[in-house]
Amino acid sequence: MNIIIIGCGKVGATLAEQLVNEGHDITVIDTDADAVKHVTNICDVVGIVGNGVIHSVQREAGIDYADMLIAMTGSDEQNLLCCLIAKKATACVTIARVRNPDYVAERGFIKEKLGISMIINPELESANEIYRLFSIPSAIEVDTFARGRIDLMKTILPKDSPLAGMTIKSALGRMSGKILICVIERGGEIIIPSGDAVLQIGDKISFVATRKDAGSFFKKAGLSNYHIKTILIIGGGKISFYLAQKLSEVGFRVKIIEKNKAHCEFLNTILPDDVIIIHGDGSDQNLLQEEGLAQADGVASLTDIDEENIMLSLFVRSGYKAKTVTKINKLNFEGIIDNLDLGSVIYPKYITAEMIISYVRALENTTGSHVQTLYNIVGGKVQALEFSVRASSAVTDKPLSELQLKKNLLLCCISRHGKTRIPGGSDKLEVGDSVVVVTTDRSLNDLKDILA
């Protein structure tokens, strides 16, 4: 597809790089010449210096024959205006990043009246991901499919785990619920396992299950599946706002520590009364202890400084019981970050890119089984995709055991008529199903692509 991205900031640059890797032709626009140069240096894109709101600049970028325009500038209003101008001039698909909390409730109205195909709020989506992580304390990653009915979770097999040394078949045979282990990370190795694979202490295990069945697995694996009630949030940005609001709605006790006094006063006026706002430096160990760090069940390090977030999480994990979530904006040192004991780590830029790539893949296939949801897991080396089966094909109405599937690929879950299950060899895919696939193949656009 021919795609124009307006805005070459952190999110725009990451998105451009990933869409190029997906095989699309990308043109980027930004008023900052250095930002454009940076993106053109890191990936094979066309760069234009200019204001993406201006129609003549959009025409220079090829809007007349573009399939999609994505507006990712720092201004919500500019993003909406870019999309509106592109939509009035052409029939291309438009996507706008809109971050202001005031616009959240109006997203449906804005999409309909301005003709925008997709509105994405990275901070809101990041808050939703952190909420899922606090809802399942034993998981270090949680990705949701089938409208929340089933999760892909990652955990680490602890020391003295009863499952260590057992084959997957033996380990899961003891479970009362249905569990499917999809990926094992062991050192630098990535394994799409069979039932004969042997589990080892320290394995990072990604598995599919309902939340009820997941609780049984955590218990059998020797992990404490405690409930989180009290959460300390460091930093009062947009992610913290959305997260505190959501946590408060379901009864969590929430406290935010924020450096800027004026912003503390602002948060105090817009957040529920039961959310406590503290003016102070969240990196001050004495302040953290005074504000109940020892009693906290969860700590989210969400400042704008990656290094501060990393140090805060390392400090908490060095001597406190709380589950930690660490926000990372830069991707430059991801390999090093993966080796640090930070608990759960979120990358807002990845979240945005995954949602847009999922949308792009769905557009590329409008007749077969399109992609509903896409997650990059294991540092982007593995993808988990949810397909909607919209028509009969070579993979439908046949027992799964008769299908010749590609290597390093698993069918993890089938959702049908509101019910989900882990499939066996006798199960068949039917029109109307949603199907979750985990694979190292990064080119799947249709469910038929799973065949060898």
**CATH classification at residue 391:** 3.30.70.1450
Per-residue confidence (pLDDT) for residue 244, from 0 to 100 = 96
Helices 261-270 and 238-249, interaxial angle, to 10°? 30
Give dist(CA 338, CA 342) in Å, integer. Answer: 8
Q: Which residue, among 341, 245, 256, 365, has the nearest Cα to 301 in the 3D structure?
A: 256
pLDDT classification of 97: cutoffs 50, 70, 90: very high
CA distance 343 to 121: 24
Do 371 and 423 fall into the same domain?
Answer: yes
CA 367/CA 268 separation, integer angstroms? 49
Taking the CA atoms of residue 173, residue 175, residue 177 and residue 183 in that order, the dihedral angle to the nearest 10 degrees is -70
d(CA 36, CA 64): 21
H-assigned helices in 147-237: 168-173, 211-221
Q: Are the beta carbons of 437 and 361 closer than 8 angstroms?
A: no
Residues 379-413 pLDDT 10s = 778 888 888 888 888 888 889 888 888 888 888 88
Q: In what order do the strands lie in the sheet with 46-49?
A: 46-49, 25-30, 2-6, 68-71, 93-97, 118-120
Residues 114 and 23 in one domain: yes
Whether 33 and 100 share a structural domain: yes
> Do 269 and 342 belong together in one domain?
yes
Q: Which two tokens stand for residue 92?
A: 């291309």
State mean pLDDT over 255-281. Answer: 95
Instruction: Report the predicted TM-score, pTM, of the whole model to 2 decimal places.
Output: 0.85
Q: What is the CATH number of the domain that holds 41?
A: 3.40.50.720
* Beta carbons within 10 angstroms of residue 86's beta carbon: 28
Would you tell me how many other CB atoms lie within 10 Å of the CB of residue 115? Answer: 14
Domain count for the chain: 3
Is the residue at 161 inside a domain?
no
Q: Are residues 320 and 384 in the same domain?
A: no
Same domain, 11 and 96: yes
d(CA 357, CA 374): 8
Helix (H, G, I), strand (E, B) or coil at 409: strand
Q: Could you tell me whether strands 323-327 and 344-346 are parallel, antiparallel, or unpaired per DSSP bridges?
A: parallel
Which of 312, 346, 380 represents a domain boundary (last residue)? 346
8 Å CB contact between 368 and 393: yes
Domain that residue 331 falls in: 230-346
Residue 366: its pLDDT value, please? Answer: 57
CA pair distance 285, 281, nearest whole angstrom: 9
**What average pLDDT does the structure give for the chain?**
88
Q: How many CB atoms lie within 10 A of CB 248?
A: 17
**Cα R_g (the chain), whole angstroms:** 23
Residue 389 to residue 386: CA distance in whole angstroms: 10
373 in a structural domain: yes
pLDDT in tens, 328-369: 987 566 667 777 888 899 988 888 888 888 788 777 755 556
Same domain, residue pair 6 and 116: yes
Angle 348-364/122-135 helices, nearest 10 degrees? 110
Q: Residues 149, 213: contact at Cβ < 8 Å?
A: no
- How confident is the model over 425-442, as pLDDT tens digits? 888 998 888 899 988 887
Residue 15 corresponds to which tokens in the numbers above? 């998105």
The reply to whether 364 and 342 lie within a common domain is: no
Closest C-alpha among 406, 396, 403 to residue 452? 406
Answer with the one of 120, 136, 152 that is the final residue of a domain: 120
Do 288 and 379 lie in a common domain? no
pLDDT at 302: 96
State residue 252's pLDDT score: 93
Q: Once rounded to an integer, what is the mean pLDDT over residues 312-340?
A: 83
234 lies in some domain:
yes
Bridge partners, residue 181, by sequence: 207
- Return the biggest CA–CA distance within the chain: 65
User: Within this chain, do residues 17 and 111 fall inside the same structural domain, yes or no?
Assistant: yes
Please report the DSSP string for 302-336 in residue order. --S-HHHHHHHHHHHHHH---EEEEE----TTHHH
Amino acid type, 364: E
Joined together, the tokens standing for residue 117 give 């195909």
- pLDDT for 42-77, tens place per residue? 899 999 999 999 999 999 999 999 999 999 999 999
> In 3D, which of 276, 238, 229 has the Cα closest to residue 257?
276
436 vs 152, 415, 451, CA distance in Å? 10, 9, 15
Any domain includes 317:
yes
Q: Coil, strand, or helix at residue 118?
A: strand
- Degrees to nearest 5, angle at CA 361 with 437 and 332: 85
Please name which of 373, 371, 356, 437 lies closest in space to residue 95, comparing C-alpha atoms. Answer: 356
